[in-house]
Amino acid sequence: MTKICDLVVKGTVVLTDQIIEDGYVAIADGVVIAIGSGDGPEAQVVEDFSQDYIFPGAIDPQVHSRSQKGQEGFIWSTRSAAAGGVTTIVDMPYDDGQLICDAASVLSKVDEAHRDARVDFALYGTCHPEVGPVKVAEMVAAGVCSFKFSTFGTHPERFPRVPPQTLYACFSEVAKHGLAAGVHNENHEMVMAEIEKTVASGITGYRAHGLSRPEITETLAMAEIYEIGAATGCPAHVVHCSVGRGYEMCAAYQKQGYNSTIECCIHYLTLNEEEHVSKLGGKAKINPPVRPKAEVEKLWAHLQAGNITMVSTDHVSWSEDRKTDPDMFKNASGVPGLEVMYSLLLNGLAERNISFTWAARLLAENPAQHFRLSHQKGGLKIGRDADIVVMSKSEESYDAGKSGHNVVSWSPYTGMTLSYRPCATYLRGQKIFDGQDVLAQPGNGTYVTPLREAQV
């Protein structure tokens, strides 16, 4: 190699198919130009993390930066991301006060993210149920990487339910553009009936949320999602699944030749109803719900079997007053997780003696492939952006309010022991986190759009 590299990062390099001891990643002009073992090529700067692991920066497939107006925004969500080794966020289209359902709203959001984001970002679009698919093409032209829908109606305008006939029409249109359709998987009618039944029984404490959303409410919705995908030829993606049966369903559709994928949020792999929801109440309220411990272990078995496509946070930082009502039904759903997703996944992998290569697949390579971003993002490969997180083995108790990188001081993970933590994050070859401070300023992030071939 004749060219002197800008940077060589040395350590134990974790790829999707192997782990390179005494490895290095060489970087020039913001992209990876070589990966190997030993000293590596000559470089202007060498960062030696010989005791640590070098992973690809994560692509978080599911982030809600603007779910509560005036609360978090890209300034804070991407600060948490940088501190957690997440170098690209894929932001959801359900923003407080603005459903992202046409080109104008997409481009307005791009402008805000360009001003405020510290890491790179991609965007979902959606369709208003009363409008249907007519705005899909203009949102594709505006650069969205996927489309998000919901079979459950959280809010008629911000987070509306899309009925099956409209979902079918939207999937049909999305398929023409080679993108995937992701769907929130809860059957609206059944959830509403179960909520009514649970309230009538007088149960409103921590058990109420799980009781009102039993396993069948997820799997019924998933059957609808995957069947519509099969009928339209649109890649059908379930954006979160908390039950083992759902992963069995996805695997069955894959075996039949359909482009079906499934996502597991880090909270479903980490939290359980008996130990965490019972203590945290509303601070562990998530849709779909956190399940009992036995169900959590089923998810880990599916991860090891290769039945989970990717792992996400479904990150949202609600103000604390919206998460602390003793009545579970009065709390908002969702939790923050960007700062700890990587650490929590490595914790779980290490505890179960599962190879760290799974982290490179589930947090980087697979999301990049899914969102058609692998021409630029994803695992550590020559020619891709040099997005890197260095993870150090260093046990410490997590405190969301201590780091200063989160807009809220609460977290369902506070008090958990993390065995691995980010000691450096690089975005396009530039250090954006040094283990203590986020170095990237607002406006550092760029808009990442999919490489695709239209199928029309």
Tokens for 439? 């170095």
Q: Whole-angstrom Cα distance, residue 384 to residue 32? A: 6
* 30: region left, alpha or beta (phi > 0 left; psi from -120 to 50 alpha): left
Q: Answer yes or no: are the C-beta atoms of 438 and 432 closer than 8 Å.
A: yes
297: three-class secondary structure by DSSP? helix
Q: Where are the domains of the chain?
A: 56-370
The phi and psi torsions of 349 (rounded to 5 degrees) equal: -65, -45
Q: What is the pLDDT of residue 198?
A: 97
Q: What is the pLDDT of residue 440?
A: 98
Residues 6+ apart with CB under 8 A from 416: 270, 344, 397, 398
List the chain pLDDT tens, one digit each, 456 residues: 446 899 999 999 999 999 999 999 999 999 999 999 998 999 999 999 999 999 999 999 999 999 999 999 999 999 999 999 999 999 999 999 999 999 999 999 999 999 999 999 999 999 999 999 999 999 999 999 999 999 997 877 778 899 999 999 999 999 999 999 999 999 999 999 999 999 999 999 999 999 999 999 999 999 999 999 999 999 999 999 999 999 999 999 999 999 999 999 999 999 999 999 999 999 999 999 999 999 999 999 999 999 999 999 999 999 999 999 999 999 999 999 999 999 999 999 999 999 999 999 999 999 999 999 999 999 999 999 999 999 999 999 999 999 999 999 999 999 999 999 999 999 999 999 999 999 999 999 999 999 966 433
pTM score: 0.97
Task: Give the model's pLDDT for residue 158.
Answer: 77
Strand pairing class (86-91; 120-125): parallel
The single residue listed with the structure tokens 């170098």 is: 87
Instruction: Find out whether 60 and 364 touch, Cβ atoms under 8 Å.
Output: no
pLDDT reported for residue 3: 66
Among candidates 400, 445, 416, 395, which has minimal Cα distance to 60? 445
Given this model, what pLDDT does residue 154 score?
81
**The dihedral of CA 125, 129, 130, 131: what is its sign?**
positive
Q: Which residues touch 422 (CB under 8 Å, ≥6 apart)?
A: 83, 84, 85, 342, 343, 389, 390, 391, 392, 433, 435
Homologous superfamily (CATH) for 56-370: Metal-dependent hydrolases (3.20.20.140)
User: Please, which residues have CB within 8 angstroms of residue 28's CB and are 6 or more apart in sequence?
Assistant: 3, 5, 6, 7, 429
CB 60 within 8 A of CB 83: no
pLDDT of residue 169: 98
Residue of 200, 188, 193 lying closest to 155 (CA atoms): 188
Predicted local confidence at residue 456, as pLDDT:
36
